[in-house]
Structure formats: C-alpha cells, structure tokens
Structure 1
C-alpha cells in the first residue's frame, strides 16, 4: 500500500495530495470501497486526524486534516468566513475563449438514501465560479458531429462551496469536464478512455491558500499533477510545477470578472 504524499505538516495540521478515485472517509453510499484517505493517513501518521473539508471521490488534489478537534473547528470557521482561496485545474470539452465569472444558483443535490428526509423544495443556492482559459488542443478525431475534437485546460476558483459546483457550472457553460460521468459528455469520456487510457475525472484541486489557524501565517500549497502530467505532455501543455504555481498566484490575485448567468 503506497503512502499518501504529504504537502505540509506541523503540530496542528497536515495537508495531503489526495489521489483520484479515493474516498475521503467511509460512506454507506460506496459500501464496496475499502480504501479511504482518512484511515490511510491515520495509519501513516500513527495518530488520529480530523477531516476539515472534502473532495469528491474522482477529484485529486489538496486535502486538509487537523490534528485536534480544536484546530478542526478553527479551520471550519475559516472556511465559513471565506478565508480559503482554492484553485482548480480542469480539462473541458471545447474551446473556452474568454475568462469570466459565472453566477448561477444551484439547487441542492439530494441523495435518495442519505437525504430522504431532507426538504425537497429548497430554493436554489448562490453559486459563483471564476474561470480562465489556459491552453487548448485540437485533435484529429471525430467525436460526435465534428471532424476534430477540441479541448481546453482551464483554471477555476469556486467563490462558493456547493456540491459538485465546478462540474455543474462547467456543464452549464456547455464545456463539461472530461471524465465527469454525472454532468459530462459520455462520447468524449469514452474517447479519452480509449485513446488515452483515461478513466478519471480531469479535475484537480491544485492550489489552496489559507491562514494558519494558530500562527496566522498565510499558507500557499500546491498539489501535483499526478496522472494529468502524462496527458498534458501529449497535448504539449506545460507540466512544470513552477508554471502552475505562478499562474495561480496571479489568477487568485485578480479581481473577479463581470458576472454572467
């Protein structure tokens, strides 16, 4: 069993690079799963850890755990107060030509089992996402009705934290994330599986900025590209960490563009 990659660790918290395809913790919705980040990290560190937030199972990237209940509570309060800045990388269908900010409310997604007693008539919640195109590729394959297949690499910043927000917002823009089996394009997902042996969601939580809950020092952490590096190389997209770190430093400092619906 391989160890998790630790991006940051001190006496108060630990940050890991979560692999795609691994649940953060046990869920009765995925009863067949036996591998969880929470348990593996506990075994790896030899101590109890407290989850602070979550990433969807198919998403890779930065995941923060506290080493005490008090620090978990402090970090949770930071999230609610909007003190965390998150930057994601995604490969999407089509050419996204301009940067923007999407303000498109989302209805809460309820699970038939876990949420069967929850209110079914809740109004849509505010959901805002910034996006910026980085690179494009046009492949000489017909996928669907066009003679070629076009894809873009984009940087994303969720300004709110709704369930599957990035996946749903990109689908709303008609640029679904490749590998998204819930909100994506099945033909393009199948093409990537056949042509590039890709079976994962092409979404990575690459950058996270937040103040340390004890010292107050601003932390900026970066994940790795994992399997995405090989794919990016085939598309002649950058794979050097310095490129993405510099790009996100600039992207997260920018003022949000005019909001679109």
Structure 2
C-alpha cells in the first residue's frame, strides 16, 4: 500500500500544500503507479476538517470494486471538500475506459463553502479532469425546506443535469460527524434517491469514521424516517497493499463503516 508524498506548493499561498496520492502495483516502477494531486489548505474539507480514514477507505473500496462507478453515467459526491474522492473516482473511470474518453460520464463534486469550492476547481484542473469532473455548490439545508428550498433544488438539478436526473450514484465520505447536519444530509439523500419518472433506481454509498455511535445511529435513523433503506456493506481493499492510504497519525480515529442507501 503506497502512502502519499507531500510538499509545499511552489509559489502558492501560505498554508497551502500540494499532496500526491499514489496507488498501484508495488512490483511496478513508481512511474507506473496511478496518482492524484490535491492542493490543500490546512487539510481542508467541508467544515474545516481533513481527509480522514473514511475518504481513504471508500477510495480503496471503489478501486477494489469499480462496478458502481462503471455503470453510473452520472455520479455526484456530497461534501467533496477539495475533491480527493471524486478525483480518484474519475481516474478509475478513465482506467476502465480503453479509449480514455469516458464518453457520457459525468462526476459532480459538491460542497457549500465557496473557498473550498475554489480549491476543488483548482484540483480538478490540476489533474486535467475538467472534461469529467465539475464543482458545484449544494446546500443540504435546502432539502429540509418544504417550499423555497425545493424550488431551489429543482432549479439546481435542471442546471446540473439539463433537466434530467442528476445522478445514478451518490458518494460521500467523512460527512457524518455533526448531529445538527444529520437531518439535512438525510433529506438531501432522499431528494436525490427518490425518483418518480420510472428511471433506474439510484444508490448512495456513504462511508463514515464512527467517532460517536450516537451520531452515526442518529444519521441512519434520519435516513430510515425518510423512507430510505440502509444496508451495511463490507469494505473491500485491493490485494497486496496496492491501494491508497492516509497520512501517519490519521489512522485509529475510529471504525470506518460503509452503508448503501436506496429509496424504499
């Protein structure tokens, strides 16, 4: 398993570093390993935290089991932060497409913090993935608002998906940490997962580091109360330690759990 290398960004703003995350066959020369670069300020993700175990774990799960990414034409990440999970997903899609064009594939990485979104957009360009990944603002609180919020969400969906459905696969990691946001997150998932047009049923894969059993249980209950079905999924990893890993000192934050969520 290959750890990331980190160095200060050349000529960048104070406090900003460029990190390179590697994965691949350790029997191959390092030049053959796959990689993603991210600029990060203070290990920034939405809410001011940092990439934790759950983001790394879900990245590795998708590396080991890319089928959900392969079969989804539209993928949406919630709480993307500076974009590691979406960028890894995009690289997986590229690797699975022999032409490298990933024709018709689209990944929308969302967050609500404008500063985070700016860095997310920089990271998309840094990895030359503009053709596949785009950054969009999405406020979970809109889904909890029965009238104006719903109108705003429909406008958002029309803008993102040209009037169609915005995602067949929703992904998220390290986003279940604040009980005050659990209801808003569950409401957003319900809005994304419930379809009335008879189209393919979407699914969500949400990974979380369980620092508080009460917070995790509260989030799951909020999902179930909104007619969502929650199923625990065993996390998969690549053989021979060839997947992505996190930084020293981030391990042991808590147990990482993965759930699959669909509409009832």
TM-score range, shorter chain: under 0.3
TM-score (norm 2): 0.28
Larger Rg: 1
From the two aligned structures, give the one with the greater helix fraction. Answer: 2
* Higher relative contact order, structure no. (Cα contacts within 8 Å, ≥ 6 residues apart): 2
TM-score (norm 1): 0.28
